[in-house]
Amino acid sequence: MATMRGRGNMSIDGTNRNIADLLKPYSPEVQKLALATQAFVLQLIPMAVQTVDTKSKVLGFGFSSGYKDMICSLMPAKTWVTLGIAWGTELPDPQGLLEGSGKVHRHVKLKAESDLKNPALQAILKAGLRRCESKQKSAKGKR
């Protein structure tokens, strides 16, 4: 597993190589969509720590490399990219973009780069960031 913070260190450590390894089995279209999704997330959450888990085929974004601090995740699939949103069950979703039946998390299946231009998706991700920030603050207050 490799970790890096935001965009600033992309060429300094092996994370780019790990992302390339993660995406290697997928079609060029899915690779391009995954990289566009990564850029989309980092544009909205520039301070995110990226964690590449090649075994689980996940690129996580959070306040640290730990699961409890995760804001969202990117998971390539055969013909799409899944953008997982932590605490998605607690977020407003007026356009019904979020899918899933888990107790906490939800996801959006991205099938084209144009999906990233949907203002509702940006709103969900920003709301997810605020939710994770408030969870983190309340956890620190309990210490």
Tens of pLDDT, residue by residue, the chain (143 residues): 555 554 433 332 457 889 999 999 999 999 999 999 999 999 999 999 999 988 899 999 998 777 778 899 999 999 999 999 999 999 999 999 999 998 989 999 999 999 999 999 999 999 999 998 887 777 666 65
Identify whether the C-beta of residue 139 lies closer than 8 Å to the C-beta of residue 87. Answer: no
Identify any residues that bridge with 83 across adjacent strands, giving them in sequence order. Answer: 74, 108
Q: Which residues contact 129 (CB under 8 A, 6 or more apart)?
A: 44, 45, 71
Whole-prediction pTM value? 0.85
